[in-house]
Amino acid sequence: MTASTGEGPQPTAMAVPAIREGRYCHAHVDPLAALRGQGEPPWDVYLTGTVFLDIIFTGLDSAPVRGTESWARGMGSSPGGVANMATALSRLGLKTSLAAAFGDDHYGDYCWDALEQGEGIDLTPSRTVRGWHSPVTVSMAYEGERTMVSHGHEPPPEEPAPDCPPRARAAVASLVPGKRAPWIAQAASKGTRIFADVGWDDTGAWDLAALADLQHCEAFLPNAEEAMRYTGTTCPRAAAHALTEHVPLAVVTLGAEGAYAVDRRTDESAEVPAIAVEALDPTGAGDVFVAGFVTGTLAGWPLADRLAFAGLTAALSVQEFGGSLSAPGWSEIGAWWRKVQSYDDQDPAALRRYAFLEDLIPATARPWPLRRAVPTIGFRRYA
């Protein structure tokens, strides 16, 4: 294997006028501008899953203690669940379509408005389920980690629409051991590139054969513990190599150490260290990482650049409240790049690692404000 240095054709992007969506405006960069043309898929990424209302408490000094009351210094509310990934993708300039069930309540209305009007996400395949309440997650962030409590019910089943899944360049799926999702094979048969992650295997089997839809995937992005358990290895880098026997591209996140990736098709591997930041709330950082990696892959960037970009977007996200609305846009990415270049004692090697950003970030982009998590929803509007 050869380690990628990020050399080669540099990625390019086109700055286009800001898009006004509801009360919020996004300074927009299209990372796929050079690829667009006649006959292209209508969507860059298709997603399906459950939308939660996330209520996040931050500023806790320690985990709540049984029988006591804890006060948090910060609180935020935002759409969660699959909305984390959808928002991150949309803010990076990808045309995103989401199929999800929304609750027939104020929480559901808020999440729908935040995603469709606030973020420009296509909700045509989505539905509001009459009489069904929105799932809710309460997340408590402390000591760099989080604890979550969730409640919800499965929505009533619905026959898939004829055009669902729609034609898209890529789709992101969460694989479940022992369970197939028919839409994954359908999407792959249309030429959609499937990027998959996975959750903790509660059965304890950790059998790759149980991930039946992995055969349809182009890339698999587990964390280090998941990767080692599924491959029976004791090293996450060895696990990444072992996973390429089952999927062309394996990306293993290493927590504070960064990420490591192996591409079987190009015989290439790359490792990029994490960016050290003071985390306010880690909720959704993994989703933002995947969104950044998908963006770079669709744009055709070198493997090391994709890892660096994914890690950067995830690092920026943990400095804001909430999962979905903490995702950075190009203005935040540009501000970070300009700031790190201003330090006289900056490591030249670190600057070279992110030099590919120079051709992506428009020099005159106006920093339009992104919608962020607020303590509560439904504030009254006064004249």
3-state secondary structure of 313: helix
The average pLDDT across 312-329 equals: 83
* Residue 21 pLDDT exceeds 70: no
Identify the pLDDT of residue 381.
57
Q: With contact defined as beta carbons under 8 Å apart, do 32 and 93 qualify?
A: yes
Asked if the model's pLDDT at residue 212 lies above 70, the reply is yes
The Cα–Cα gap between 325 and 328 comes to 8
Q: Please report the pLDDT score of residue 345 as a whole number.
A: 86
* pLDDT tier at 95, thresholds 50, 70, 90: very high
Average pLDDT estimate for 301-317? 95
The phi and psi torsions of 367 (rounded to 5 degrees) equal: -75, 75
Answer yes or no: is pLDDT of 9 > 70.
no
What is the pLDDT at residue 280? 60
User: pLDDT tens digits for 187-200?
Assistant: 999 999 999 999 99
Q: How confident is the model at residue 141 (pLDDT cuts 50, 70, 90)?
A: confident
Least confident among 24-33, 93-102, 146-155: 24-33
Quick: pLDDT tens for 114-136. Answer: 999 999 999 999 999 999 999 99
223: left (phi over 0), alpha (psi -120 to 50) or beta: beta
Q: What pLDDT is attached to residue 24?
A: 43
Helices (H), 40-150: 82-91, 106-116
pLDDT at 59: 83
- pLDDT computed for residue 159 by the predictor: 64
- Output b/e per residue, 46-76; b: 16+ Cβ within 10 A: bbbbbbbbbbbbbebeeeeeeeeeeeeeebb
pLDDT of residue 33: 92
CA dist list (Å): 240 to 76, 232, 259, 278: 36, 11, 10, 28
Cα 364 to Cα 271: distance, rounded to the nearest angstrom: 32
Mean pLDDT over 142-155 rounds to 85
pLDDT band at 383 (very low <50, low <70, confident <90, very high): low
Flag the least confident range among 54-58, 207-211, 351-355, 371-375. Answer: 371-375
Determine the 3-state secondary structure of 180 from DSSP: coil
Which of 103-130 are b and which e, b meaning 16 or more Cβ less than 10 Å from the residue's Cβ?
beeebbbbbbebbbebbbbbbebbbeee
Percent of the chain with pLDDT over 70: 84
**Which is higher by pLDDT, 138 or 376?**
138
Which of 37-46, 138-147, 174-183, 264-273 is the least confident region?
138-147
Q: How high is the mean pLDDT of the chain? A: 86
User: Residue 55 belongs to what H/E stretch?
Assistant: strand 43-58
Instruction: Enter the tokens of residue 58.
Output: 């931050």
What's the CA gap between 331 and 337, in Å, rounded?
10
- Residue 228 to residue 253: CA distance in whole angstroms: 11
pLDDT at 343: 87
Question: What is the structure's pLDDT at 194?
Answer: 98
How would residue 164 be classed by pLDDT, with cut points 50, 70 and 90?
confident
- 3 state DSSP class of 262: strand
Token pair in block for residue 301? 């960037």
Tell me the residue type at 126: S
Confidence (pLDDT) at 362: 72
* Residue pair 19/26 in contact by the 8 Å Cβ criterion: yes
Classify 120 as helix, strand or coil.
coil
Q: Which of 333, 322, 330, 336 is nearest to 372 (CA)?
A: 322
The pLDDT score that the predictor gives to residue 13 is: 36
Residue 17: its pLDDT value, please?
31
Q: What is the mean pLDDT of residues 161-178?
A: 89
* pLDDT for 23 beyond 50: no
Binned at pLDDT 50, 70 and 90, residue 20 comes out as: very low
The yes-or-no verdict on residue 16 having pLDDT over 50 is no
Report the pLDDT value the prediction gives residue 211, as an integer from 0 to 100: 97
- The answer to whether the beta carbons of residues 346 and 109 sit under 8 Å apart is no
